[in-house]
């Protein structure tokens, strides 16, 4: 009796693990997403801002517990709804598993269920389509505000056969024990925004807007993948082969944490510039 129950439980667990998303359940911290959104909103043209505000005012995409009250809140809405009925299929849209070894292109690594590259293109087309419903376009606006920021999180465009860093346990100087993916999503991002960090990121937007304009989703993805290769993974205490996990959590140095600060600030700033540029173009069609 018990052996059969145990076998059934193990089988169910194995099926769940195979079906589970290969990336973290969340992305940049909510504060980081809202900062990118705020900085992008400041750069919208009057016409683009007016249309964004109009869509948000319709309240047409509100789900219980997941409300879009302003543009900043729109940027976190996709994480809020991703486990709600009708939205579970969106989980793979937040990342793409581009290897950190060998040569690859972003096109090579989009699963049949979708990925961030495919999702951004689809939501961009929906937002530009004035025949689509307000709800469809508002959801597209929210996903674009969120996914462009996700695209600039290096562990959302990288993989070392370890679920985007989720299998690599760390111990940070603060004593926190996240995995590598969570460290970049949350702990390191919050550290980069602490104190004068937000002001520094806003200054980067102003100083580098022209340099960061242009490009496309593939180019931006490969920028993040290079950061993962050279630093997020490359500066770890040990070099890990594809699928290799350390026997014990990796001790992360203060140097790693401090060196991540300018990288994360640049990624958040460039995400704001590119999001504003995409929306200025899309909402003007």
Answer yes or no: are the C-beta atoms of 144 and 278 closer than 8 Å: yes
DSSP lists the bridge partners of residue 251 as 171
Calpha distance 139→176 (Å, rounded):
35
The angle, 0 to 180 degrees and rounded to 10, between the axes of the packed helices 217-227 and 254-282 is 180
For 82, the enclosing helix (H) or strand (E) is none
Torsion of CA 258, 262, 267, 272, to 10 degrees: 120
The structural domains of the chain, ordered by start, are 23-282 (1.10.575.10)
Strand, coil or helix: 34: helix
Neighbours of 26 (CB within 10 A): 17
Q: Which of 258, 26, 274, 66 is nearest to 155 (CA)?
A: 26
Q: What's the predicted TM-score (pTM) here?
A: 0.89
User: Can you give the pLDDT at residue 14?
Assistant: 38
pLDDT digits (tens, 9 = 90+) for 131-183: 999 999 999 999 999 999 999 999 999 999 999 999 999 999 999 999 999 99
DSSP state letter for 25: S
Q: 169 phi and psi, to 5 degrees?
A: -80, 140
End-to-end CA distance of the chain: 65
User: Can you give the pLDDT at residue 1?
Assistant: 39
DSSP lists the bridge partners of residue 169 as 179
Sign of CA dihedral 260, 101, 271, 74: negative
Q: If you count DSSP H runs as helices and E runs as strands, how many of each does the chain have, helices first?
A: 12, 2
Q: How far is C-alpha 106 from the geometric centre of its chain's CA atoms?
A: 15
Burial of 268 (0-12, 13-18, 19+ CB in 10 A): buried
The tens-digit pLDDT sequence of the chain (285 residues) is 334 434 443 333 333 333 334 444 456 889 999 999 999 999 999 999 999 999 999 999 999 999 999 999 999 999 999 999 999 999 999 999 999 988 777 777 787 789 999 999 999 999 999 999 999 999 999 999 999 999 999 999 999 999 999 999 999 999 999 999 999 999 999 999 999 999 999 999 999 999 999 999 999 999 999 999 999 999 999 999 999 999 999 999 999 999 999 999 999 999 999 999 999 999 987
User: Can you give the pLDDT at residue 111?
Assistant: 76
Q: Which of 200, 193, 219, 210 is nearest to 29 (CA)?
A: 193
Q: Which of 157, 137, 169 is nearest to 51 (CA)?
A: 137
Burial of 46 (0-12, 13-18, 19+ CB in 10 A): exposed
Q: How far is C-alpha 41 from the geometric centre of its chain's CA atoms?
A: 18
User: Can you give the pLDDT at residue 26?
Assistant: 58
Query: Residue written as tokens 């390191």?
Result: 188
User: Can you give the pLDDT at residue 204?
Assistant: 98
Q: What b/e readout covers 141-178, taking b as 16+ CB neighbours within 10 angstroms?
A: bbbbbbbbbbbbbbbbbbbbbbbbbbbbbbebeeeeeb
DSSP-derived secondary structure for 102-154:
S---GGGG--TT--HHHHHHHHHHHHH-TTS-HHHHHHHHHHHHHHHHHHTSG
User: Can you give the pLDDT at residue 65?
Assistant: 92
């Amino acid at each position: 009796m018990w052996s059969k129950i145990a076998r059934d439980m193990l089988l169910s667990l194995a099926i769940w693990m195979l079906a589970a998303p290969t990336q973290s359940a969340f992305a940049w911290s909510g504060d980081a997403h809202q900062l990118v959104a705020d900085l992008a909103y400041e750069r919208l043209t009057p016409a683009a801002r007016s249309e964004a505000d109009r869509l948000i005012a319709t309240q047409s995409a509100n789900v219980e517990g997941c409300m879009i009250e302003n543009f900043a809140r729109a940027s976190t809405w996709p994480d809020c709804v991703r486990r709600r009925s009708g939205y579970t299929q969106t989980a793979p849209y937040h990342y793409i598993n581009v290897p950190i070894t060998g040569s690859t292109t972003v096109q090579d690594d989009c699963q049949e269920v979708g990925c961030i590259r495919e999702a951004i293109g689809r939501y961009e087309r929906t937002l530009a389509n004035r025949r689509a419903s307000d709800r469809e376009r508002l959801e597209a606006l929210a996903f674009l505000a969120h996914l462009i920021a996700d695209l600039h999180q290096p562990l959302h465009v990288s993989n070392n056969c370890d679920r985007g860093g989720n299998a690599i346990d760390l111990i940070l100087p603060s004593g926190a024990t996240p995995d590598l993916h969570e460290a970049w999503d949350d702990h390191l991002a919050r550290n980069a925004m602490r104190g004068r960090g937000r002001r520094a990121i806003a200054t980067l937007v102003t100083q580098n807007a022209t340099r960061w304009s242009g490009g496309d989703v593939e180019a931006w993805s490969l920028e993040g993948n290079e950061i993962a290769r050279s630093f997020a993974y490359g500066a770890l205490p040990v070099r890990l082969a594809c699928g290799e996990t350390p026997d014990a959590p990796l001790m992360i140095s203060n140097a790693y944490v401090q060196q991540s600060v300018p990288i994360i600030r640049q990624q958040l700033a460039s995400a704001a510039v590119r999001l504003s540029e995409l929306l200025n173009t899309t909402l003007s069609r």
